Amino acid sequence: MSGADRETAGAVPAPGTRTEIWRVRVDTGTCMGTGICAGVAPDRFQVRDGVSHPTAEYVPPEDRVVDAAESCPLEAIRVTHRDTGALIAPEA
């Protein structure tokens, strides 16, 4: 999904605006610890004790964070807009 598509789909402010920050969460009860997310975005995800963890809860918009969430086989990663709560990834 392109940035323009995300903006339209989730009413997310345009990339590069000061107010756009994403929240990254991993459902540790669902995560299998495959490490795919850490492979896609190694500075954004780490696998510890067999479960993935975001390296930061709040991040600037990045395509690779979306790619990591969409690559998760169990959809254990949710990326939302910090202020609006709009779902950014994975796509519904």
User: Mind giving me the DSSP string for 2-52?
Assistant: -HHHHHHHHTPPPTT-TT--EEEEE-TTT-----HHHHH-TTTEEEETTEE
CA distance 13 to 41: 23
Hey, is 53 helix, strand or coil? strand
Q: Which domains does the chain have, with CATH numbers?
A: 3-89 (3.30.70.20)
What's the pTM value of the predicted model, to 2 decimals?
A: 0.78
Q: What does the pLDDT profile of the chain (92 residues) look like in tens digits?
A: 444 444 433 444 455 555 699 999 999 999 999 999 999 999 999 999 999 999 999 999 999 999 999 999 999 999 999 999 999 999 97
CA distance 38 to 47: 7
